[in-house]
C-alpha cells in the first residue's frame, strides 16, 4: 500500500504497545526456552507477540507483520515489526532494562517507531518527518563533539554462526572505546540504547548485526531526534544494513573510523 504519512498510524501503534505493556507488567515469567546462541525466549515474549500481531492484523489488514518469535505474515511492502520484549535476558532476571519495540517499515526504511520501557516508564515515539518524543517532550540528541567526553553503548558479544567474528570485533571495540571514551555501556537491549541515544543520555549506540525487530523503531526515533543513523561504512541505515550505528552528528566521523575493523567481515555492507 502507498504510505503518504506514517503519523496517521501512530494511534494504532500506541494502543498496541499499551496492550503489550499491560501484559508484560502483570504477567511474571513462568517459562523460559533456550533458542540457541545464548538467546532465550519467555512465555511472555510469545504471548505479547500474539496479542500485538492479532490486534494489528485486525486493525490494519492491508499491512504485513514481522515478529521476532513468529516470523512474517502478510505483505512486505509496508509492514509492522515487533520485538515483544527487547532485552529478554534482562527481563528474565528482573532487570528493568527492557522494552516493547514496535516499528513500521515502508520499503526498506523504518518510518514509525514506538518504544515503551515497561518497568522504567516513558514512551519514546516518532514518525518520519514529525520529530521524536518521550511522552510529550520533544527529543534531541546530545551536542557532544569530543569522543573523550562520550558515553557509548555497544551491543552484546556474539551468538549463532558469526559468534567468533563478532566476539573478536566486540573485544577490540571494548578495548578501544574503554580507553578513548568517557564510558562504555552494554545495556543488553538495542531498543533501550536507541531510545536513550535519542534523549541525549548516550552519545552513540553501536549494534553489530541488524535484526529488524531490534532496530526499526529505535532507528526512526534516533533519526528524528537528529542522530546520524548509518551502517558500519557510513551509508544510510535501512532494513538491509549489516549494522546499526546511531550517533550524535558531532561524533559521526570519530565513531565510524573505529568501525573500519568490520571491513571484510559479515558486519560490513555486502559488495564493499
Right CATH number for 147-262 from 2.40.420.20, 3.40.190.80, 3.30.70.1230, 3.40.50.12780?
A: 3.40.190.80
* Mean pLDDT, contiguous 10-residue spans, the chain (272 residues): 79 98 93 81 95 97 96 94 96 96 97 98 96 97 98 87 88 96 97 98 96 96 98 97 97 98 94 60
Give me the pLDDT at residue 39, please. 81
Distance CA 236, CA 125 (A): 20
Predicted model pTM? 0.96
CA-CA-CA-CA torsion sign (178, 234, 13, 56): negative
The domain 6-138: what is its CATH number?
3.30.540.10
Q: What are phi and psi of 116, to 5 degrees?
A: -115, 140
Tens of pLDDT along 71-85?
999 999 999 999 999
| 257 within 8 A of 153, measured Cβ to Cβ | no
Residues composing the chain? 272
**Residue 262, number of CB atoms within 10 A of its CB:** 22
Domain boundaries, the chain: 6-138, 147-262
Q: 3-class DSSP state for residue 195?
A: helix
Amino acid at each position: 500500500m502507498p504510505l503518504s504519512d506514517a503519523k496517521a498510524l501512530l494511534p494504532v501503534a500506541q494502543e498496541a504497545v499499551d496492550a503489550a505493556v499491560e501484559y508484560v507488567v502483570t504477567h511474571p515469567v513462568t517459562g523460559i526456552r533456550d533458542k540457541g546462541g545464548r538467546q532465550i525466549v519467555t512465555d511472555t515474549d510469545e504471548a505479547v507477540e500474539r496479542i500485538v500481531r492479532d490486534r494489528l492484523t485486525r486493525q490494519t489488514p492491508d499491512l504485513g507483520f514481522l515478529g521476532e518469535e513468529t516470523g512474517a505474515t502478510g505483505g512486505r511492502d509496508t509492514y509492522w515489526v515487533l520485538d515483544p520484549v527487547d532485552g529478554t535476558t534482562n527481563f528474565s532476571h528482573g532487570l528493568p532494562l527492557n522494552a516493547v519495540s514496535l516499528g513500521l517499515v515502508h520499503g526498506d526504511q523504518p518510518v514509525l517507531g514506538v518504544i515503551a520501557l515497561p518497568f522504567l516508564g516513558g514512551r519514546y515515539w516518532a514518525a518520519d518527518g514529525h520529530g521524536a518524543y518521550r511522552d510529550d517532550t520533544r527529543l534531541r540528541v546530545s551536542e557532544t563533539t569530543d569522543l573523550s567526553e562520550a558515553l557509548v553503548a555497544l551491543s552484546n558479544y556474539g551468538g549463532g554462526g558469526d559468534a567468533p567474528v563478532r566476539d573478536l570485533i566486540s573485544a577490540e571495540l571494548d578495548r578501544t572505546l574503554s580507553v578513548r571514551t568517557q564510558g562504555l555501556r552494554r545495556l543488553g537491549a538495542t531498543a533501550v540504547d536507541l531510545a536513550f541515544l535519542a534523549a541525549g543520555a548516550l552519545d552513540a549506540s553501536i549494534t553489530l548485526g541488524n535484526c529488524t525487530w531490534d532496530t526499526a523503531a529505535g532507528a526512526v526515533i534516533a533519526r528524528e531526534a537528529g542522530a546520524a543513523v548509518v551502517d558500519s561504512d557510513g551509508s544510510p541505515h535501512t532494513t538491509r544494513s549489516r549494522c546499526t550505528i546511531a550517533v550524535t552528528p558531532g561524533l559521526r566521523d570519530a565513531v565510524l573510523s573505529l568501525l573500519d575493523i568490520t571491513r571484510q567481515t559479515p558486519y560490513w555492507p555486502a559488495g564493499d
